[in-house]
Amino acid sequence: NVFYHCFCQRPSDVEKYSTLADFTKEDLRLMEKVLCKYNIPCDQLANNTVVSHCEYLSEIMTELKMLNRLPYDFEERLSATFIPSRGEYQNFGIMA
């Protein structure tokens, strides 16, 4: 229904309607690839450590930008997967 589509398919300030951000195997593989580019150890990379790895990556990138080793506006692309609040499959209108 429209309510579910509008409110339960994205992060919300109402927890029962909010999607959950999770890191799939593909998300973790991408994160590992990026961490390796910066020689950041990733042997402890898991769902419960992704945030701390991202924070450390941000610190390293900030330092490299200050040293002019990276362009000031450079960004790495990472991903997370949004899981609908009730766990339903979401095709984002592809089948509509």
pLDDT in tens, the chain (96 residues): 566 666 566 666 767 767 777 899 999 999 999 999 999 999 999 999 999 999 999 999 999 999 999 999 999 999 988 777 766 666 655 555
Q: How far is CA 69 from CA 25, 66, 73, in A?
A: 30, 8, 12
The neighbouring-strand residues paired with 82 are: 21
Q: Identify the helix (H) or strand (E) that includes residue 81.
A: strand 81-83
pLDDT score recorded for residue 83: 77
Neighbours of 11 (CB within 10 A): 10
The neighbouring-strand residues paired with 33 are: none
**Beta strand 81-83 with 20-22: parallel, antiparallel or unpaired?**
antiparallel
